Structures are given as C-alpha cells and as structure tokens.
Chains A and B, each alone.
Chain A
C-alpha cells in the first residue's frame, strides 16, 4: 500500500497543511499581541530544547518524566478497556505516601527511600483498586468512581499538610522537607534528577507487558471486546483489578518521583495544578493507545509546555497567549495524529 511515491506525498501532504495552519494561527496571535515573531519562535524552541548547557531541555525532560509516567499509567488501563480517569487521585496518594513515609520513618536513607517508593506505589494501587471495587461490587461505573475518588484524596492531602504535618515556619501549606539524603541525585553537570530513570523503567515494563506477556495479551482482548473476553473464559474481574493495581502503582511511583526529584516535600496542589494526570490522558488518546508511541507523545506535550513558557520569557508574550498557542498546537497535531491512526484501524471491516 505504501510503495509508490505518489502515495508518500499523499501521506505527507496533510502534515504540511497541519504545520501551515499552526504557523498561520500562531503568527496571527503573535502579531495581535505585538510580540516580536522571530524572538518568540526562537524563545519557544530555546525554551523547549535549548538553554545554557541545555538547561531548558533538562527542564523538558524533567517534566516528561512525570507526564510520560502518568501517560503509561493511563495507557495500561485504557488498553484493557478500563476508563480509569482517576490518575490524579492515584498520583496524589503516591506523592502523599512518599512524603509522609520519608518524613516519619527513621533509618538509613536508601532504606527509607526504597520504603517510601514502595509505599507510594502501594498507595496509588490501593486508590485505583478502590475505584475497581466500587465498579465490580457496587455498580459505580469506573469512569465516575475513579474521577470522584480524585477529590477526597486531594483534600486529605491538603488537610495533612495544612495541619498535622505542616512546615509552619515556611509560611506555606506544605509538609516538612524529606531528609536531604533521600533526594534524588542530579545527573552530573545538569539540573535533571534521576527520577526519569524510574519513568524509563516503567515505560520499558509497560512495553514488554503490552507486547510480550500473557497478562497484557488478555487485558488487551478484554479492552477490544469485553463480551469476547467473557465468552472465551478470561477471568475478567481478576484482570480488571490486577490491571487497575498496576496502573495505580505507576501513578503512585510518579508521585514519589515528584517528591524526591523535584519538590523534596509534599506541597499542597503540587501534583494537581500542573495537570500531569490529565495531560497524560490526552497524550495517550492522541496516539490511540499505541504503546510505543506513548512516551513520544508525552515528551511532545512536555516540550510544548516548556516551550510556551520560554516564549513568554524571551519575547514577553503574555502567559495567556502562550497557553492559547500551546492549545492550538496540541489541537491541530491531535486531530492529525488521531485521524491518521483511526483511518488505519477502521479500514476493511467487511462482514457479509
């Protein structure tokens, strides 16, 4: 199907149109606010990938670590047909557990760190399982249950760092710092912490799981057709709970990465306001849940976000306009990518 040059052109042409559309709308927006176009664009590029010794590229990677991690978490449950949109709650549960364990548990730093990360994953898994139990045994649809469970954990977190564990002298709503010895190290000569290695590990796990394991195969069949999975005797309930636990554990891990790599404490709203979980969901939907494309998609989102911030810094583009530009880019790329993926998947469904 893709051997001739003419067809190649047909594949490339829509992308050219997408780029043209993005370029013209961005240009119009920049002219509208009177920003210097050249500086704004180079600011965007520099903000995403440049900086002194690639400092901004490191910032993009640091952000990717969290977004890709959340995207992986979402991808695992979505592929199994489980619309777990409670990644945010599982992320918060993980961050909270990581922070509190590190503050309260005495012992050698490595042990504390290991215990905190394990605790974070358990907390995330437990929070996701709660949504699964609500669906299987109480009949609350996962879509609703997982979403609603975001709120209690968020305010439990707010309460804990506003009252019992508040670092009062700091004057902020945040917990005490975790012991310095547990902080993630930076890669030599950069401001990028090693948290991204955890995300890479989780990504590798997710790829092997999705493409190469029996469990991944069974959950995928369930995701493609729950009726089919039941008919051939797959243990649908067990698969559901196990998948949610894995998905929640990865979200919890991301919470721990944010605590030990970036903030070094739990700050109220630190995992919610940047919309990591929601960005992760969009990143997964953008590429139609195709596993290998998910990390790339997550990196793209991180780059667009840091790039918009760079444009704001370099060319004085108002923050709101930078956000609009960010949205325009995502919207056009999203429609292009998902259009291409769905037309490939939807072809040739001919019965009778």
Chain B
C-alpha cells in the first residue's frame, strides 16, 4: 500500500503537535520515524490510524483521499497499529484477544473459533510467528504479548503496519526475532512504519528514515543517502552530547545491604538475593524484564513485604518498616511507571513535586498548607531540572513523557538521600532527557550517594554502572565490574542461571 500524507497539521488546543508534515510511505519498505519525545511522531501515526483528526492536510491511500471517522475505518482499509502500551485483555486467551471485534461468525451467531484458528495457523506458517493460542494473555511475557498484537494486525489483513517503539521492552535476542518478522513482512510487500528512539535499530533495519523535531519533518531520505551522525543531528537539532566519562572514585561505606531477600510473586518467589551497595557507586542491575527485578524493587522500597531475609539501610535493619519510614531513613525511589506510581497525573506539578517531602514544616503551618512555599519549591525543581511545562500549577498530565520523568527524578533526587533506587529511569524518554537524567545520576554518585540502577536497557547499565549485577529467573546470575563489561558477557548472563563471569 502506498501512503501519502500531505501538509498534515494537528493541534491540541493552543499546541501544534504536528506542523505541516508531508510524508510518503512505499509498499515493501521499512520506514523508520525517529525524533525526540513530543516531536510529533506518535501523533502523526495516530492521525494516520484515525485516532486524532487533522486541522489541515490530507491522507491519500493508493491515490485515493481518505478520511477516517474512527480507527475502525482505518483498520478496514488495511492499516494496523501496534501501540507502545499494548491493548490486550489480560483475562482473555490469545485467540479471544486476536479475534476481538473481528470475530468470524458461524451459524446461529456463535463465534467460529475453529475458522479463526485455521486462519491464524496459516498466518503463522506464512510469517513464521507463533504463540500458544489457548494461553491467557495475562500469563504471557512482554515479547509474547507483542507477538499477539502483531498477529492481531495480520489477522485483520493489514497492508500497512505501524509499530510504536516495539523494541523498548525486548531483549537483544527477541529484538532480532522481531526484525526477522518485519523483514518477512517487507518481502511480502507490506509497508512498515517503525517509531523508535534507537539509532542502532534504524541503521540495522530501515530502508527509509524520516526525522521529526518539534512537530516538523526535518528530513526524509533513503537510509543509504544519509548517515548516523546526520540523523542524530536532525533529532536533537544540533551537535550530540559527548559520551559520558566516569570519574574514578573509591567506593565508601556500605549504605544498603541486602541479605538472602525473597519476595513473593506469582508462581515461584524471587530470590534469595544478596548484595551490597556502597556510597559513591552506581550498581546496575541488568536483566530482561520479568526476571524478578520489579519484585526486588518493591521489596526494597517497602511496597511489598519480604518473605524472608533482611535489608539494612545506613546500618539499620529496615525490612519491617513501611515505605515512609524507609524513605525517612535515607531512600529515594524513581519508579519505572511514571504514569501510575511516579506521578498523580490529575494533580498539579506543584502537588506532585511536594508529595512525600520530608521537611514538612517548610511548606505547612500547623495543619495548613502554604501554597506559596509549595509553588516556590516546584518552581525550583522545574528550573533545576529544566522541565518544560506551563508552570507549577499546570496539571502533571500536560507534560510530555520526558518532562514527566524529569519531574519524578527531580523530586526524588532533591531529597538528597544516601540511597537512590532508580528503576528504568529513562524508559521511553527522548535523547536529551536521557542524557540529562544520566548526568544527574552521575552527579549524585560523584557527590557520594549510592545509586541502585535497575534497567532493562543494557547500554544504560553499561554506561553508568561501577558494578553490574545480572538478574535471571529471580536470582542474581552473575556480577561484572563496570569498566570491563561488554554487551556479550552481560547478554550471556541475562539468558542463563549462574554462569558467573
């Protein structure tokens, strides 16, 4: 399918999210759409998919101008989209999820699951992707869920497949498998649009690359006609930040010590896990998501109780204390899920910035709030962490992903605690924000704070950590010192239990 977007403009209230963008997508082509968060990539694709309406411009499919009144129209015309946040029903099976809203109806109005199964078998055979159709989606791994989303799109006979940050949740091996599938689609003549932040992937798989910045299309060219540096400059609108250098620094006293901690999860418990964290070091915990990292974090922060084992924080055992007491003892936490745990999106920036603050007397008088003091505090964070937002009284939901994350990071790091637990702190944020957040974590380390960095982004762990622990299947499968880490060694530990390096 040949798609042309002509002079597309999308506005949300006073904000112009996409500004006069014209773009062509050819059949049998993998088209990478790159740019920072808030550059308008997702909005542009949501428009193509009928989720938002343009203020100006036209969508032309195979020479015919089209207008969608809903995504259903777009699907019926052969478009399919795999969203960044999967849209699946956890309690239904894979098969039920796939046929949902496109059920083959048999006699007497019953759903003909047998027919659906036959078609999916054919699709699986053609494209070499398969997943157990009878499993409940809630029991699948993230990459399996993504496969379900892709099958959903294929089942609806999509000719154009849009994938929004498909590799954010995958291991290197799973990513390779996904890319094989995409190449297979290309060979079958389908058009593929892949929205991504990662230049490596663009260089690896794209035929054509389009760069967006601040709602505008900066450039769109064949991959062969451009270079990695040129794309990167287009994304940030200038020169790239330099690679980070680590200041050599001897680690100090142990500030966080975890001994044989086990934490409940569905199925087998996580653990036992033991490690020490010293002042002035960043310890990275690498691993494919779902290998017990999130349970470990919940156990450390006090969100979930330990089944057994102990945690000592600054010399005091804290495993029986609640979240507030652990925070007061010197722990800050940057959660992975900024939308649900990091921020209250319905509240203002100021209300979010002041939540969980220790120095209560600085913004209250007796039981009453001092709104002025809260606003000043929020404004200081906005400035120090260069958050782009209308002001401290704007709703947190009005910020872009990167700015939301900077607010969470700012709130937690401003507390200046001995220990900082950072869980995927740059998940889904743009290059500029990633660099800034990495810089702040490094600055905390250099000034003698201890940072536990839990990340599924291997490059991030390698770039920042003094030591790297790898988690696999609920336990620590090995430790690598930061200086000598290479992707392959750590990658091997991510896939196996106890092959310690």
Contacts and interface: CB of A to CB of B under 8 A. Distances in A.
A352 B84 contact: yes
A351 B323 contact: no
A233 B344 contact: no
A235 B345 CA distance: 20
Given A1-B13, A214-B368, A234-B356, A351 B351 contact: no
B428 A351 contact: yes
Interface string A1-16: 1000000000000000
B12 A233 contact: no
Contacts of A213: 367-369
Given A1-B13, A228-B343, A231-B303, A352 B165 contact: yes
Interface string A190-232: 0000000000000000000000111101001100110111111
A227 B165 CA distance: 25
B42 interface: yes
B9 interface: no
B341 A224 contact: no
Contact of A233 (B327, B342, B369): B327
Interface in B336-373: 337, 339-347, 351, 354-356, 360, 364, 367-369, 371
B37 interface: yes
B65 interface: no
Contact of B347 (A214, A220, A349): A220
Given A213-B367, A214-B369, A221-B351, A348 B339 contact: no
A348 B12 contact: yes
Given A212-B368, A214-B360, A232-B356, A347 B13 contact: yes
Interface stretch (B56-64, B176-184, B393-401, B449-457): B393-401
A233 B412 CA distance: 12
Contacts of B360: 214
Nearest to B363: A214
Nearest to A345: B346
A128 B342 CA distance: 31
A208 B164 CA distance: 45
Contacts of B400: 350-352
Interface string A250-264: 000000000000000
A217 B364 CA distance: 11
Given A228-B340, A228-B342, A234-B355, A348 B369 contact: no
Interface string A264-305: 000000000000000000000000000000000000000000
Nearest to B430: A352
Contacts of A351: 339, 400-401, 404, 428
B324 interface: yes
A212 B355 contact: no
Interface string B323-340: 111111000010101011
B489 interface: no
A229 B356 CA distance: 8
Nearest to A215: B367
Contacts of A347: 12-13
A214 B359 CA distance: 13
A10 B42 CA distance: 29
Given A231-B323, A350-B400, A352-B84, A214 B344 contact: no
A352 B42 contact: yes
A344 to B, nearest CB: 10
B339 to A, nearest CB: 6
A224 B343 CA distance: 10
Nearest to A220: B347
Contacts of B344: 221, 224-225, 228-229
B37 A352 contact: yes
A352 B397 contact: no
A243 to B, nearest CB: 14
Contacts of A1: 13-14
Contacts of B276: none
Nearest to B37: A352
B401 A224 contact: no
A135 to B, nearest CB: 18
B322 interface: yes
B345 A224 contact: yes
A345 B38 CA distance: 20
A231 B42 contact: no
B349 to A, nearest CB: 13
Given A214-B367, A228-B341, A231-B333, A349 B323 contact: no
Contacts of A233: 322-328, 356
Contacts of B368: 212-214
Contacts of B323: 230-233
Contacts of B42: 352
Nearest to B398: A348
A349 B340 contact: no
A230 B322 CA distance: 10
Given A213-B367, A214-B360, A352-B401, A230 B303 contact: yes
Contact of B335 (A217, A229, A231, A352): A231
A333 B217 CA distance: 45
A229 B342 CA distance: 9
B346 A224 contact: yes
A80 B400 CA distance: 26
A347 B398 CA distance: 8
A352 B428 contact: yes
A214 B346 CA distance: 17
Interface in B156-209: 164-165
A233 B358 CA distance: 10
B355 A228 contact: yes
Interface string A175-201: 000000000000000000000000000
Interface string A233-247: 111000000000000
Contacts of B14: 1
Given A217-B351, A224-B346, A225-B345, A235 B324 contact: yes
Interface string B38-69: 10001100000000000000000000000000
Interface of B: 12-15, 17, 37-38, 42-43, 84, 164-165, 301, 303, 322-328, 333, 335, 337, 339-347, 351, 354-356, 360, 364, 367-369, 371, 395, 397-398, 400-401, 404, 428
Nearest first, the 8 closest Cβ-Cβ pairs linking A and B are: A232-B356, A233-B324, A224-B344, A233-B323, A351-B401, A224-B346, A231-B341, A349-B397
Given A348-B13, A350-B43, 11 more contacts: A212-B369, A213-B367, A214-B360, A225-B343, A225-B346, A228-B355, A230-B341, A231-B356, A232-B355, A235-B324, A350-B398
27 contacts: A212-B371, A213-B367, A214-B364, A214-B369, A221-B344, A221-B347, A221-B355, A224-B344, A224-B345, A225-B340, A228-B340, A230-B303, A231-B323, A231-B335, A232-B355, A233-B356, A234-B324, A234-B355, A235-B324, A348-B395, A350-B397, A350-B400, A351-B404, A351-B428, A352-B42, A352-B164, A352-B400
